[in-house]
Chain A
């Protein structure tokens, strides 16, 4: 199922704002019908061609609008079935999606570099204009060229037109000036500052008394195509895992439909992080996708599943309890056995020699006394932990009767012996449980006492209590932060922390004595006095053969538990057990503070719920709405917010895109306030007389259709112009086709008749020759 309908309300819950209007991404371009043919071809009527890097407009000048207005592309490929080359041009390239892969443009950047493609484009144009003359196009040509174009461009175009199509005459001009010519057809103001915002470049051309001052003109190498490319790269980085590919055409549509010039760029950047404003400006676009519908389960089914799960859980719990109990019993028995052993060994009455002691221990499977000690203390610790565990002692138990245990085995029958065995087990179970219970009770009592103490403290001195708790909390939080920082630092090999770590590792690995064991102590002393010395002596006697790092007798590393801390220091991972303890402490403190400290709010929690409303990145990526990563619609959505104003802003601050050129406003300011007045074209000193050029700032070219462009230009120009000037900014009627209309208009004028180059002149003067006129380039 394909979804996506215009203006569909999404089911995103925002909390505070209504869900956004979701726009679909643009559909791919499709042409349904082949380009038609012109039905009013007349020989001798000039053909005007305005060829730009995005669109070409061509037509006989006996109409008011260009008959052809199509993208400047061809698609040429071999059809295997028909076994011949097929060439499609302009809109026809969208007749079938198959043509897309072989689409070519004659342009590389602002200049034409593929003249074969250009030839196809002109072939097609003349063909569809129904040129019917033989062996040549019997129409004069008016065509545009780039401002201050490289000579090779003109040469190639001349060559193609004169030699390929045998045209009688050719004249070149600048699109921006043609557009100005058309929009100024009533000759209201012969001066103007033209801001021609094209697809590949932006031209700033001053015109004084109808004469373009090209030696004052400037070109910024930024146009609509660069803007689209910039947006596409930005979005690619903003949503690196976007599930579908967004086409150039879709980016083009985004720029055209949603970008706008900000009135005050810096202020608006700040405003965009304001939720209400963001809600207003954020644009949500959704790519179409096939939604996987998840089957909704009935309530009954869910209940049944839950019941099943609960039962399973209970069973598992019981099993675990049983296992724990068994283990506990085993441990209790072990502990009892080994503590008795220890007592026996240490009891002076038994008079056990060191040798005997070691022998007994090694028989029991221990390396030495230290090993035994360590095992015992570990056992004790784990036993304590185990007693606190849940071992299923909920049911009240009476002490079972263990009458058989007191009888001697000889007096019992076979069956009774069996019974006795089971009673033995039961007794152990029972005792373990009892002990655990007692332990727990003590713990509980201690806790209660502590709680009571706290309570009385709170009642007496709440502020002091809060202070104490906050200090404790701070210690934990600081430690956590410190650890985070350390972890981050360890990522960088050159950081201080990483170097300390490497040092430690090196020390540990280093051969020789004492390097890494400075902290080890003689744990053997705990066994009784003299034990250590005697032992050490015995060992050194045994280990005379070869001292390596593995059997160094002086190596007491590890005898002290703290020795192992070195590994904690150098380990790159976190100690989860410790972390858990810390987390529970943190949580307990926070809970207390939440309960009793009036100034402690949920936002102050260390792991406070991530608040997207405060997150710059969330607002940038997801707008003023919450984000559910599971929602398939939201996965396929992109948000335009900062980009909407950033992309057009590049024309004013090209450095945003790393273009080392001044923006249109800076160039215009310099031109209007300094360069033109200093060349005496006008001056601002005449009181209350606005120079003509200020009264006609003219915006043309495709990019000038960007929303709010005019207002921004008015704002910027007003800010730098001396006050009291009558600034007027005009936008071309139809920026895209006005240049062609200007050509048409000019083809009727005397100026045209004096400006075209005939074939004879071309042959005579060479491929760089032009006659200068008010709408074209100057001759070098």
Chain B
């Protein structure tokens, strides 16, 4: 490791700081986002809430009601066709050549872009 210059070292922040409560020493757990959400779900389930209560889940946007348009998974152009083998959408015969000769697993990577990949659990 090359040595850091004095200014760079002095820019590092050190504790203790005068404005902090010296006795504050919380015990914490880092919960991933998924767990934070499920904790909230459990908490809300214990409450009796009015129908129109504003919760983390009630403000979530609903699924689209308009018909979904299809786009080519490779180029993003209009994708009128769907490859039977992989389910990838494609724009024309030329792109289909790519879809057909795609290396193993790449089709899943493309599908992952629109959450349509196969997830093994």
Write the residues of chain A forming the contact surface with B, with a CB cutoff of 8 angstroms: 34-35, 79-82, 86-89, 92, 95-96, 98, 108-111, 113-116, 120, 123-124, 126-127, 131-138, 146-153, 159-160, 163-166, 203-204, 214-215, 217-221, 230, 233-234, 237, 240, 266, 269-270, 272-273, 488, 492, 615-617, 620, 642-643, 646, 653-663, 666-667, 777-778, 780
Contacts and interface: CB of A to CB of B under 8 A. Distances in A.
Given A108-B33, A159-B26, A270 B78 contact: yes
30 contacts: A35-B11, A80-B1, A86-B9, A87-B12, A98-B4, A113-B30, A115-B26, A123-B15, A127-B17, A135-B20, A146-B56, A150-B40, A152-B43, A159-B26, A164-B26, A215-B52, A215-B54, A218-B59, A221-B60, A270-B78, A273-B77, A616-B92, A616-B95, A617-B74, A620-B77, A653-B64, A654-B61, A655-B114, A659-B115, A662-B63
Nearest to B28: A115
A659 B116 CA distance: 10
Interface string B78-121: 10000001000001101100101000001001101111100000
Interface residues of B, number: 70
A666 B66 CA distance: 8
Contacts of A152: 36, 39-40, 43
A491 B40 CA distance: 51
Chain B interface helix/strand/loop/mixed: loop
A613 B110 CA distance: 25
A148 B58 contact: yes
B13 A114 contact: no
Contacts of B64: 653-655, 660-663, 666
A126 B11 contact: no
Given A127-B17, A615-B94, A780-B47, A658 B114 contact: yes
A237 B54 contact: no
B60 A218 contact: yes
Given A34-B11, A617-B95, A662-B65, A135 B115 contact: no
Interface in B20-72: 20-22, 24, 26, 28, 30-33, 36-37, 39-40, 43, 47, 49, 52-56, 58-66, 68-69, 71
B25 to A, nearest CB: 9
Contacts of A778: 54
B30 A114 contact: yes
B40 to A, nearest CB: 4
Given A269-B77, A620-B75, 18 more contacts: A88-B11, A116-B28, A123-B15, A126-B17, A132-B19, A134-B18, A164-B21, A164-B24, A214-B54, A215-B52, A234-B113, A616-B94, A642-B75, A655-B69, A655-B114, A661-B61, A662-B61, A778-B54
A132 B17 CA distance: 10
A646 B76 contact: yes
Contacts of A661: 60-64
Given A132-B18, A780-B53, A658 B116 contact: yes
A778 B2 CA distance: 52
Contact of A237 (B37, B113, B115): B113
The 9 closest A-B pairs by CB, nearest first: A658-B115, A34-B11, A658-B114, A150-B40, A642-B76, A109-B33, A661-B61, A108-B33, A86-B12
A34 B62 contact: no
A215 B75 CA distance: 39
B26 to A, nearest CB: 7
B22 A135 contact: yes
A163 B24 CA distance: 6
B12 to A, nearest CB: 4
Nearest to B54: A214
Contacts of B66: 662, 666
B19 A131 contact: yes
Contacts of A616: 75, 77, 91-92, 94-95
B54 A777 contact: yes
Contacts of B61: 204, 218-221, 654, 661-662, 667
A219 B75 contact: no
Contacts of A149: 56
B66 to A, nearest CB: 6
Interface of B: 1-4, 7-15, 17-22, 24, 26, 28, 30-33, 36-37, 39-40, 43, 47, 49, 52-56, 58-66, 68-69, 71, 74-78, 85, 91-92, 94-95, 98, 100, 106, 109-110, 112-116
Contacts of B116: 658
Contacts of B28: 115-116
A60 B43 CA distance: 35
B106 to A, nearest CB: 7
Contacts of A204: 61
A773 to B, nearest CB: 15
A581 B8 CA distance: 74
B21 A135 contact: yes
Contacts of B63: 660-662
Contacts of A643: 76
A34 B10 contact: yes
A277 B89 CA distance: 24
A233 B36 contact: no
Nearest to A134: B18
A165 B15 CA distance: 13
Contact of B8 (A95, A110, A146): A95
Contacts of B7: 34
A643 to B, nearest CB: 7
Contacts of A95: 8, 11
A165 B68 CA distance: 51
A253 to B, nearest CB: 20
Contacts of B52: 215
B115 A151 contact: no
A126 B15 CA distance: 12
B69 A88 contact: no
Contacts of B3: 81
A138 B8 CA distance: 29
Nearest to B63: A660
B39 A150 contact: yes
A120 B31 contact: no
Contacts of A146: 56
A237 B59 CA distance: 34
Contacts of A92: 11-12
Given A81-B3, A152-B36, A666 B65 contact: yes
Contacts of B110: 237
Contact of A111 (B13, B33, B65, B75): B33
Nearest to B76: A642
A135 B19 contact: yes
Contacts of A153: 36
Contacts of B37: 111, 150
Nearest to B2: A98
B13 A88 contact: yes
Contact of A219 (B14, B59, B71): B59
Kindly name the residue among A492, A654, A780 whose own CB sees the greatest number of chain B CB atoms within 10 A.
Answer: A780
Contacts of A108: 32-33, 36
Contact of B115 (A134, A220, A272, A657): A657
Nearest to A656: B71
Contacts of B14: 87
